[in-house]
């Protein structure tokens, strides 16, 4: 049987969506096996187990399409189906992102919640759930965490943070909640009433809700707390908050807690706490020797607090709750029956309850979730005796969706039991409600009918009992579902306890109907003052229980769909796993750092408040104290051996210019030996230089001053276009021009600047952004405005009219004249934001032609580097991609300061020059808002309705979203002296950010 395996990168789909695609492909004629999945470790195991060979290097951010068919044609058809399905998904996602004015979907839960969200829903893989949940808590929203595989430590971290913020964490591993009448996750449409539920069990809560609804008693809310909340380690943190909130909720008159037995000390503490709340609190804790859930609900209803009169009495079969008799054909008396109970469940708690009810009568029941370890089933899950299986258990949901969504595994087992002579009765659960299969009863009914027929054909009778959890108002319609199952020959019971007893009766075990024993474990309230306070006091959990929820969701879209179907406002995040190489633990460590929120806010505030005045022009020797033989360069530290062409050429030229060597060969030798020569990044002296960015002692530099924070920064004078030092040219004309700039241009500019009393560069940046410039690759308006500021005092400077005219012509002819001022202005801004402990804001991005380096506010002067990428875009003349040097220059300081590529929406003209279009420019800027701390108050983009530019790149946001800062830059020729070969777009290498994150986690 031919196999086909392809791997695609660059797209992420959630697991449920891919399982649906897998099912689609598997349904193609001739396809025997199909798996379309993200290449996580788990899924790779499954694929290897299926016998597929996966190319090495395939990782969690890649999609694997693995198909096995009867022949090549079938495989090809399968591949086609997979491609079409994925294409449909991609274009559905892209629809909202294309077109002028459409905003890209947020990538994190924080983005989805925005400023109006009140409730988060997290269903991303457990490894990443903590980070998303922290987003909600930081935004002041409660959060439901459906994801499991969240560590206990993270659970405690989340719940402590939530308590401090006055919000609730429902989870982890919480699949069921109802808040203000809105069903969250797998939950039922229950009538509104006075009972508040607190549930550490999902299907347990659904069973209880359904019973209460059938009894005509509704619920106010059902707050999930996660399966582990009542353990010693978590100590009931969420339960406590939930109890307090329900106690102050005007709708709630009595509270029922549904769980497995809590740790004893936790129960004791909570009971004491509950006693002081002023409302009766009852406990339905399912465990050995304890009442089952139905009995607990009956006791709860019988207690005086709700004023519900005695329940209907039991009928002839001992049932007190709704049930539907099976439609049976007349049975020949010669049919035999097997002796064993076979319970096949989707809900773990229901399976547990069945075992607890049945064990006293039946003895040992083997299971994959056994009541004691000696009753564990083997890997084949078969045994001739009594068996109960939970198909929702982790081991059975590897590589497949939960049975409540994909029932196929259980249906197969039903057929198997039908052929098994030892099977005496089939006990099944079916849970209706939001989030579940839209109409599961007919398919299950068919399976039941087929199974009974198979057994009958073999001379056996196979009784089937179904416990059906649901309500009349559920989307699947309880009565219709029950009727379908009854028509198939199953006895159907709303109560799982009664269903289990009915199954036992088929095996000849009759259980007496238990008398109702009211078990109230907390005293009724008798303190009117407390109650008064409780009712009129501030609404708990920031109004979660009284206000209409506004939901943000990250993860599997079925849950957002279920919310939309209830007309709930929900914004879905387009969630993707973090950057490859990022340890999710580091993300959580940094997000949970108490300093970070304020530190980042301070960094943004200082960055945007910094001023930038051009105050002087003078030699670097004077301005920077640059020593003889020291040469500054762009980017992070680098040695001569690793330097690229343009940088080498520029250094050679600088050596010649300084007179330290007479020939290029001698200069090269000197640099290679390193004698008497020091290379240092411009940034180490608070300076910046474009392209190769070489500054030597004799070169004149612009000096800028930030009056707000009293910092200074410097940048070389721009040489113009063509054969220039910054592109690595070092011929005589280059050296000659440098000398002219020093002896004529520099002094004239110095006079002009000093006589003008300084020039406000920040003000020019603010204006140029509204005139089609972005400050990195397009500086025309800025250059003209700068010239306008300089002209009056330049003209009257002390110098010959020829010199002045040449200086004016030289400056005016250079459309990037302003770049050398914009860069140090941004340097001043980022300098002000640097050195704040706990801040994850990037304060330097720079390239030396070989490496790209960043520095972060909270990690001091440490560089985080990776190999510089080569820009992609359009080429000048006959140049091509092979002519381009990797990214080079300190000009990425513009993006770091909130202009340049991140402000591309302000400069549609430059986008065409780099091979994009106008919608692309808008999308680029809008995407940058996902990874920045905030918006610049002074730098605004007209087409975005004067929204401030995305400012303050946050390492954590980059790591979480995988969105790298967008840089728009010129391209240098690889060979020294070539000059500019084109312009294009480039991103920093991801390594810079993954390394920075590690350092932040340890800071």
Partner 1 sequence: MLAAISPLSAGLVDGPVRVAGVLGVFPTALYLSVRWTGGEEVLPVVTSDGLQPPTAVRLPVPSGSLAEVGWGVAIGGTVSVGDGRIDLPSLGGISVVRQWRPSRVPRRPDASADTGWSPFAAARLVTGRIGLGPGLTPEGDDELCGALLVAHALFSGSNPLRDSVFRALGRTTSLSASLLRAAGDGYAVPELAAYVIARLDGRDDPGLRECVAAIGHSSGPALLRGVDLGLALAPSTDASTSARQAACA
Question: Which residues sit at the interface with partner 1, rule CB under 8 A?
Answer: 180-182, 192, 250, 528, 531-532, 535-539, 543, 546-548, 550, 564-570
How far, in Å, CA of 855 to CA of 833, rounded? 11
Closer of 561 and 803 to partner 1 (Cβ)? 561
714: enclosing H helix or E strand = strand 711-716
> Min. distance of Cβ 172 from partner 1 in angstroms?
27
> Min. distance of Cβ 564 from partner 1 in angstroms?
7
Which pair of tokens denotes residue 447? 């399976």
> 215: closest CA among 275, 300, 130?
300
Closer of 22 and 220 to partner 1 (Cβ)? 220
Alpha helices in 222-310 (DSSP H): 237-247, 264-275, 293-302
> Min. distance of Cβ 194 from partner 1 in angstroms?
13
Closer of 183 and 963 to partner 1 (Cβ)? 183
Closer of 220 and 751 to partner 1 (Cβ)? 220
Which pair of tokens denotes residue 347? 């809900």
869 secondary structure, DSSP code: P
> Min. distance of Cβ 958 from partner 1 in angstroms?
29
Alpha helices in 96-215 (DSSP H): 109-113, 126-138, 152-165, 202-214
> 846: closest CA among 640, 681, 970, 705?
681
- Interacting residues of 402 by C-beta distance below 8 A, sequence separation 6+: 346, 392
Closer of 185 and 746 to partner 1 (Cβ)? 185
Closer of 182 and 963 to partner 1 (Cβ)? 182
Closer of 309 and 536 to partner 1 (Cβ)? 536
Given 3-state DSSP classes, what are the helix, strand and coil percentages for the chain, each rounded to the nearest 5? 40, 20, 40
> What SS3 class is residue 308?
coil
> Min. distance of Cβ 550 from partner 1 in angstroms?
7
User: Alpha carbon of 840 to those of 255, 837, 881, 955: distances in Å?
Assistant: 44, 9, 35, 6
> Min. distance of Cβ 530 from partner 1 in angstroms?
10
Closer of 540 and 982 to partner 1 (Cβ)? 540
> Min. distance of Cβ 828 from partner 1 in angstroms?
37
208 secondary structure, DSSP code: H
Closer of 892 and 922 to partner 1 (Cβ)? 922
Task: For CA atoms 40, 42, 43, 47, give the dihedral sign.
Answer: positive
> Min. distance of Cβ 136 from partner 1 in angstroms?
19
> What SS3 class is residue 185?
strand
155, 401 contact by CB (below 8 A): no
Alpha helices in 863-989 (DSSP H): 893-896, 908-913, 918-928, 955-961
> Min. distance of Cβ 133 from partner 1 in angstroms?
23
CB atoms within 10 A of CB 412: 11
> 688: closest CA among 770, 761, 763, 751?
761
> Min. distance of Cβ 250 from partner 1 in angstroms?
4
> Min. distance of Cβ 218 from partner 1 in angstroms?
12
Closer of 192 and 1002 to partner 1 (Cβ)? 192
Closer of 51 and 532 to partner 1 (Cβ)? 532
Which pair of tokens denotes residue 523? 């005293």
User: Which residues are bridge partners to 387 per DSSP?
Assistant: 342, 366
How far, in Å, CA of 113 to CA of 129, rounded? 15
Kindly write down the DSSP assignment for every residue of 626-670, as one continuous string. PPTTEEEESSS---GGG--HHHHHHHHHHHHHHTS-SSHHHHHHH
Closer of 201 and 252 to partner 1 (Cβ)? 252
> Min. distance of Cβ 857 from partner 1 in angstroms?
32
Closer of 547 and 862 to partner 1 (Cβ)? 547
456-477 burial by CB neighbour count: b if 16+ within 10 A, else e? beeebbbbbbbbbbbbbebbbb
- Interacting residues of 378 by C-beta distance below 8 A, sequence separation 6+: none
> Min. distance of Cβ 902 from partner 1 in angstroms?
25
Closer of 508 and 537 to partner 1 (Cβ)? 537
Q: Kindly report the length of the chain.
A: 1003
| Helices 293-302, 496-506: inter-axial angle, 10-degree rounding | 130
- Interacting residues of 550 by C-beta distance below 8 A, sequence separation 6+: 116, 117, 118, 119, 569
742: buried, middle or exposed (CB in 10 Å: 19+, 13-18, 0-12)? middle
Q: What does the longest C-alpha to C-alpha distance in the chain come to?
A: 124
Closer of 543 and 629 to partner 1 (Cβ)? 543
CB atoms within 10 A of CB 339: 15
> Min. distance of Cβ 522 from partner 1 in angstroms?
19
> Min. distance of Cβ 995 from partner 1 in angstroms?
41
> Min. distance of Cβ 544 from partner 1 in angstroms?
12
Closer of 50 and 531 to partner 1 (Cβ)? 531
User: Which residues are bridge partners to 618 per DSSP?
Assistant: 701
> Min. distance of Cβ 351 from partner 1 in angstroms?
31
Closer of 252 and 576 to partner 1 (Cβ)? 252
> Min. distance of Cβ 224 from partner 1 in angstroms?
19
Q: How far apart are the first and last CA of the chain?
A: 55
Task: For CA atoms 49, 54, 60, 66, give the dihedral sign.
Answer: negative
Closer of 568 and 599 to partner 1 (Cβ)? 568
Which pair of tokens denotes residue 878? 């006959």
Give the pairing type, strands 872-875 and 980-986: antiparallel
């Amino acid at each position: 049987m031919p196999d086909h395996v392809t791997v695609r990168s660059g797209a992420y789909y959630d697991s449920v969506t891919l399982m649906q695609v897998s099912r689609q492909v598997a349904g193609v004629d001739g396809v025997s096996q199909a798996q379309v999945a993200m290449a996580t470790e788990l899924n790779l195991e499954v694929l290897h187990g299926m016998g597929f060979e996966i190319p090495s290097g395939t990782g969690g951010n890649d999609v694997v399409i693995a198909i096995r068919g009867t022949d090549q044609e079938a495989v090809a058809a399968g591949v086609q189906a997979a491609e079409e399905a994925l294409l449909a998904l991609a274009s559905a996602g892209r629809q909202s992102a294309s077109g002028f004015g459409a905003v890209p979907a947020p990538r994190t839960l924080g983005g989805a919640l925005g400023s109006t969200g009140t409730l988060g829903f997290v269903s991303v893989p457990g490894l990443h759930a903590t980070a998303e949940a922290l987003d909600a808590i930081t935004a002041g929203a409660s959060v439901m965490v459906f994801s499991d595989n969240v560590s206990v430590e993270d659970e405690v971290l989340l719940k402590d943070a939530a308590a401090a913020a006055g919000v609730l964490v429902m989870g982890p591993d919480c699949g069921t909640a109802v808040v203000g009448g809105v069903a969250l996750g797998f939950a039922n449409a229950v009538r509104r009433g006075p009972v508040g539920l607190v549930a550490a069990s999902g299907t347990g809560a659904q069973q209880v809700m359904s019973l209460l609804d059938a009894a005509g008693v509704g619920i106010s809310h059902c707050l999930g707390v996660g399966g582990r909340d009542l353990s010693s380690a978590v100590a009931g943190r969420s339960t406590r908050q939930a109890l307090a909130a329900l106690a102050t909720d005007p709708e709630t008159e009595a509270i029922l807690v549904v769980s497995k037995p809590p740790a004893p000390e936790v129960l004791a503490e909570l009971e004491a706490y509950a006693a002081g709340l002023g409302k009766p609190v009852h406990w339905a804790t399912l465990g050995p020797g304890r009442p089952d859930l139905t009995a607990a609900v009956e006791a709860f209803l019988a207690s005086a607090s709700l004023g519900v009169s005695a329940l209907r009495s039991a009928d002839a079969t001992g049932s007190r709750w709704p049930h539907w008799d099976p439609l049976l054909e007349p049975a020949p008396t010669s049919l035999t029956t097997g002796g064993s109970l076979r319970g096949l469940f989707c809900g773990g708690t229901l399976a547990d309850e069945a075992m607890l009810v049945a064990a006293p009568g039946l003895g040992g029941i083997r299971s994959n979730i056994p009541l004691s370890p000696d009753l564990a089933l083997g890997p084949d899950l078969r045994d001739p005796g009594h068996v109960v299986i939970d198909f929702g258990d982790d081991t059975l949901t590897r590589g497949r969706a939960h049975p409540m969504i994909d029932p196929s595994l259980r249906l197969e087992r039903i057929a198997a039991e039908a052929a098994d002579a030892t099977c005496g009765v089939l006990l099944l659960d079916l849970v209706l409600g939001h989030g579940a299969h839209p109409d599961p009863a007919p398919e299950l009914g068919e399976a039941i009918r087929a199974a009974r027929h198979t057994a009958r054909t073999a001379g056996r009778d196979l009784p089937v009992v179904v416990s059906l959890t649901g309500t009349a108002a559920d989307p699947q319609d309880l009565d219709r579902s029950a009727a379908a199952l009854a028509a198939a020959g199953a006895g159907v019971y709303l109560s799982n306890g009664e269903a289990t007893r009915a199954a036992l009766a088929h095996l000849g075990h009759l259980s007496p109907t238990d008398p109702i024993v009211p078990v109230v474990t907390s005293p009724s309230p008798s303190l009117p003052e407390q109650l008064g306070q409780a009712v009129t006091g501030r609404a708990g959990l920031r109004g979660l229980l009284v206000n209409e929820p506004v939901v943000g969701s990250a993860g599997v879209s079925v849950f957002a769909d279920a919310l939309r179907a209830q007309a709930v406002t929900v914004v879905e995040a387009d969630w993707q796993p973090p950057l490859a190489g990022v340890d999710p633990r580091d993300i959580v460590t940094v997000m949970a750092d108490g300093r970070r929120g304020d530190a980042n806010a301070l960094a943004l505030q200082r960055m945007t408040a910094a001023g930038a005045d051009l105050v002087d022009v003078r030699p670097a020797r004077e301005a920077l104290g640059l020593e003889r033989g020291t040469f500054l360069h762009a980017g992070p530290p680098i040695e001569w051996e690793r330097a690229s062409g343009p940088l080498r050429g520029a250094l050679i030229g600088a050596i010649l210019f300084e007179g330290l060597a007479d020939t290029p060969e001698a200069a090269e030798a000197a640099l290679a030996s390193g004698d008497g020569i020091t290379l240092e990044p411009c940034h180490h002296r608070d300076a910046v230089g474009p392209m190769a960015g070489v500054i030597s002692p004799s070169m004149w530099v612009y000096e800028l001053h930030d009056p707000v924070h009293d910092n200074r920064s410097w940048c070389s004078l721009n040489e113009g276009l063509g054969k220039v030092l910054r592109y690595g040219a070092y011929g005589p004309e280059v050296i000659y021009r440098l000398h002219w700039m020093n002896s004529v241009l520099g002094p004239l500019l110095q006079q002009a600047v000093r006589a003008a009393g300084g020039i406000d560069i920040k003000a020019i940046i603010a204006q140029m952004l509204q005139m089609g410039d972005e400050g990195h690759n397009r500086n025309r308006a800025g250059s003209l405005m700068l010239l306008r500021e300089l002209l009056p005092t330049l003209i009257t400077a002390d110098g010959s009219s020829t010199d002045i005219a040449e200086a004016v012509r030289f400056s005016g002819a250079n459309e990037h004249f302003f770049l050398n001022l914009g860069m140090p202005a941004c340097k001043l801004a980022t300098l002000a934001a640097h050195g704040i402990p706990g801040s994850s804001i990037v304060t330097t991005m720079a390239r030396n032609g070989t490496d790209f380096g960043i520095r972060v506010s909270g990690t001091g002067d440490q560089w985080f580097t990776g190999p510089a990428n080569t820009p992609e875009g359009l080429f000048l003349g006959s140049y091509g991609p092979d002519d381009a040097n990797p990214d080079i220059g300190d000009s990425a300081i513009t993006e770091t300061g909130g202009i340049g590529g991140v402000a591309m929406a302000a400069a549609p003209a430059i986008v065409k020059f780099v091979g994009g279009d106008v919608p692309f420019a808008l999308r680029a800027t809008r995407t940058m808002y996902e990874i920045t701390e905030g918006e610049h108050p002074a730098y605004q983009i007209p087409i975005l309705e004067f929204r401030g530019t995305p400012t303050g790149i946050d390492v954590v946001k980059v790591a979480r979203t995988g969105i790298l800062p967008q840089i728009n830059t010129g391209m240098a020729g690889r060979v020294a002296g070539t000059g500019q070969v084109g312009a294009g777009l480039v991103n920093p290498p991801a390594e810079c950010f993954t390394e920075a994150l590690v350092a932040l986690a340890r800071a």
